[in-house]
Structure 1
């Protein structure tokens, strides 16, 4: 018989699943929960403070189930081992702090981009306040725009910054990945398409470098918040290193 799933990991799996089911139910009624619970850029008219927490439990809506399946598989695989090692309270803190770290790094990068876009938009003769007002979304996720905005790459990009929410547990998950690599550096990991076991101390850093590469290059087709992953990974690494250091001191 396999080991039971630790309490916090199990509850996080359940909460994420319930949020996903709620997304499907509300979607059928014309309500886009991502508008309410996803995390918008803090300078967006759609941003609310509770989104710092709720976005960690939201995922890409049905029928796209790969997003939540990957994250929940990683939560079960790595979270169970990490929670068993560091305990329930520390594990929950790690999960939440990594999620916050993902949000803040992602939006720090967004702040730099938005600041540049605002200068370009003004130079192109647009009103930032007008774009801001047009970007207020209704409960179904719709917002107003204009042909002038759509036809100007800078204005269109700025409005997308205001109207695109970040959803997913990936920041928290990457925090768990780094924690696992620090705790179990010699554990062997493998991918489905590359079934050769690689030690976590090599596998995870390569994954992080790939995320950094994708984030810096910023491919248009890459609809992934790479810097959210990196922010979560950084917090996970710092948190678990500090825990290990204090553990050795107590011993």
Structure 2
């Protein structure tokens, strides 16, 4: 939903006729409105607006999206980022939470031996005597560490945060764009932790990806002209905890946050004509940075 700045009645003490006029509803030309359809961007008044997963749609776009048969691709309901509106707009977030919980259960069953195999680790000698880590070619650790938790409090806090911020963001972006954002944010956090953290310290947790979701949420709320104070307050609290408490990977949090802001901006601000190219091109650019940082650190450790 987009609201055009201005008050149709004009500020107090000012001649209303001198105030800038708002657009008029395309179905009711006598009614001014600050609301636009999120799909076709035509002005719509309160009588014409139909609630969508994000913002409002006009009656024509709703009919095109819910008609019988196979609607043309251009007429299907779309999110603000151009993604397909799904029947369950929170399904992917549920799956991600399920994967994290499943890995947590495996860690509780197999113990530290499993953590040593999948945690983010630069380079270290394991109790078994073998040398392991990303520097040894185990790049998969950049990904597997994103789904690994050891403590109950750690996974509980992360999964609550993932549901609180991830579910609405998935509905706003669409599944594929949301998954891309989640993965590139998490990988960026892992890459920065690998670059800056001690080589023999294991790093685990979904926090890097979740910080990326926080950053993208702030960008989305700014795009929709919503109140940013709740998400900014949450970010500030989490950043204070990140730097105040020992044992927290600030590198992963900052890396994920920066990647989330950059990718999120591309997701919600890309022009419609080249939207997919810009969105996924930005994801590819972030992944390229991840590869470069990983190569630089690997060269240092080698």
**TM-score interval w.r.t. the shorter chain?**
0.5 to 0.7
Paired residues of 1:37 and 1:55 also in contact (CA < 8 A): yes
TM-superposed CA distance for 1:24, in Å, is: 1.0
- C-alpha spacing 1:231/1:207, structure 2 compared with 1 (3 Å): farther
Task: Name the residue aligned to 2:140.
Answer: 50
Distance in 2, matches of 1:77 and 1:247, equals 28
Report the secondary structure of 1:15's partner residue. Answer: helix
Q: How many aligned positions are there? A: 178
TM-superposed CA distance for 1:206, in Å, is: 2.7
Task: Name the residue aligned to 1:178.
Answer: 215
TM-superposed CA distance for 1:6, in Å, is: 1.2
Deviation string for 1:31-60 (max 9, x for gaps)?
52110111101577321221111101001x
Q: Which has the higher contact order (CA 8 A, sep 6+)?
A: 1
Q: CA RMSD in A?
A: 2.7
Query: Where in structure 1 are there 5+ consecutive unaligned residues?
Result: 115-160, 190-197
The answer as to 2:104 corresponding to 1:20 is yes
TM-score (norm 1): 0.63
Query: Where in structure 2 are there 5+ consecutive unaligned residues?
Result: 1-86, 126-130, 276-302
Deviation string for 1:189-214 (max 9, x for gaps)?
9xxxxxxxx432x32553475367x2
TM-superposed CA distance for 1:7, in Å, is: 1.6
Considering fraction of residues, name the structure with more helix. Answer: 1
Distance in 1, matches of 2:165 and 2:193, equals 23
Task: Name the residue aligned to 2:253.
Answer: 229
- C-alpha spacing 1:232/1:211, structure 2 compared with 1 (3 Å): farther
Distance in 1, matches of 2:221 and 2:158, equals 20
Distance in 2, matches of 1:80 and 1:25, equals 29
TM-superposed CA distance for 1:167, in Å, is: 0.5
